[in-house]
Chain A
């Protein structure tokens, strides 16, 4: 998954955690495993892509704090 995801990294990590929990739960079925695994692979790739591509935006505020005016 290389396209930019609309989900946040925190959301994607949370979903990945839920998928892992499913794999380790009694709900696991071999039939559903392939679909879930594919989903997990896409999430992991999206997390990696987002983290590698994203840059921080650092803005120095114009607001003055020396008491001489805003």
Chain B
């Protein structure tokens, strides 16, 4: 509401608007809203403080100016400290007390030093909570059948991932959630996609977050605290492959499995079918070799047994032959012809005077008569 004040200036009637203070502030805020629906301001944080655990206050300054900033703790997605360089997306406003401030909607770290500092602060905080603990890590399924991918389908990293995936394995049901992978909106989009996959009645076996390389600023979304916590809370195992090998994000660190690149994510996700085929063939070869070895052993054993049986039989025959020989020798010793050959003679007949005797030598049979018998 305002009053009209008419006055004369150089003979011309001039109409001035006279506002109440609150109306003036209202009009001022409307003007700001029309002129700057959202304003992006970059500066250095100073006087950072959190009141009642809910409200965040700080000043944004540069070499020659300072502006007050205000936001809710809920909107603060990055760790903040005095001296850090940030870009805020804000609505300029004048409060009921006439104090000008920026009501911050979003804030992101700016400049390598601040991004690095923010990364380290958040890393330490999450590490203290145990989010990166090795015992939290789950194994990925050896052969997943259903895979959820969160990425930008326009990104080169995604094309690399698909190429490697298709060359290594087949039969996968891959569902791709297209999201931004950089910029202020990226973390929330990826969070929504993570929730989508986690809320499905028939969930995927693994969720893969991938993005190709970029500057620290490009990859900053993967250091967003809410996104990192959402990955940690996923009931489905997660695989994160962001940037190049040298890039490390908090999303990498909190994931169940970290891949160095999107291509590496595909390699870690599925085995190489050529290796599996070779392994199956090798298994069959091993079986053939085991079977062949076993059959050879059975044959060798059988041969050995036959050999042993033959040897035992021969030995027994020899022993019997030897015994026969000895018996024959013994029998020969009792052969009376042998005694005759040594010069003795065999006398048959009755030993009575005048009785006939037959004397057998080795070479002759002699007939004789007993003429005398005397006792020895």
Contacts and interface: CB of A to CB of B under 8 A. Distances in A.
Given A9-B143, A10-B142, A36-B287, A59 B277 contact: no
Interface stretch (B14-22, B72-80, B245-253, B289-297): B289-297
B110 interface: no
B189 A65 contact: yes
Interface residues of B, number: 41
Given A17-B283, A20-B283, A66 B180 contact: yes
Interface secondary structure of A, over-half rule: helix
A58 interface: yes
B169 interface: yes
A50 B291 CA distance: 27
Nearest to A41: B284
A56 B166 CA distance: 7
B178 A16 contact: no
B309 interface: no
Nearest to A62: B178
Contacts of B180: 66
A43 B276 CA distance: 12
Interface residues of A, number: 38
B192 A65 contact: yes
A35 to B, nearest CB: 11
A67 B189 contact: yes
B280 A19 contact: no
Given A13-B280, A48-B277, A67 B143 contact: no
A23 B170 contact: no
Given A9-B143, A30-B298, A66-B185, A23 B287 contact: yes
B189 to A, nearest CB: 4
A13 B276 contact: yes
A47 B280 contact: yes
A3 interface: no
Contacts of A52: 170, 273, 277
Contacts of B173: 56-57, 59
A36 B286 CA distance: 13
A61 B165 CA distance: 18
Contacts of B294: 28, 30, 33
Closest 8 CB pairs of A and B: A54-B170, A54-B171, A51-B273, A44-B280, A65-B192, A65-B189, A23-B290, A56-B172
Given A48-B277, A61-B178, 8 more contacts: A9-B171, A28-B290, A30-B295, A33-B291, A43-B280, A48-B281, A55-B171, A57-B173
5 contacts: A30-B291, A40-B283, A52-B273, A57-B172, A67-B188
